[in-house]
Amino acid sequence: MKTLVRWNPTRTIFEEMDRFFEEQAEQSSRTWNLPLDVIENEDGYVIKASLPGVNTESLDVVLEDNVLSIKAEVEAEEVAENEQFHIRERRTGSFSRSLRFPVDVNGDEIVATYTNGVLRVTVPKAEAVKPKQINVTINS
């Protein structure tokens, strides 16, 4: 049986060959990079990552030496003998991502939540690096 492939009339045969070999390399690699959104405000950072299908028991979020690391694994589904994938685009295997913060952060106040497949990590800046408002007294 032939494999179904999305048809794209703008691709050349060379692009199709590149796609084929890239897919083979991706399938042989069991680790993938996790795309993130990182937002900064005056109080700290908010990191968001889409992690559909991740079992929270395998999710590991660690701060060490001002580096936040997120690691987990998505288990591959078992395929019955009489079944064959035609398209398999969902990622499985291990993933990890680490970020180094440019300023000191308060590791004791980090909050991580996982809702509807989205991991949200709030990382407050250390008090020493937050801007301080200084009141000026006027002497008359």
Note the pLDDT tens digit of each residue in 34-55. 889 999 998 999 999 988 888 8
Report domain extents, the chain. 31-127
Question: In this structure, what token pair is assigned to residue 119?
Answer: 């991991």
Q: Is CATH 3.40.640.10 the classification given to domain 31-127?
A: no
pLDDT in tens, 87-101: 877 778 888 889 999
* 119 bridge partner residues: 49, 114
pTM equals: 0.67
Give me the amino acid identity at 34.
L
Output b/e per residue, 11-23; b: 16+ Cβ within 10 A: eeeeeeeeeeeee
Number of other CB atoms surrounding residue 47 within 10 Å: 20
- C-alpha 130/C-alpha 43 separation (Å) is 7
Tens-of-pLDDT digits for all 140 residues of the chain?
A: 455 556 566 666 667 667 766 765 555 445 567 889 999 998 999 999 988 888 888 899 999 999 999 998 888 778 888 888 788 777 788 888 899 999 899 999 999 999 998 999 999 998 886 667 777 878 87
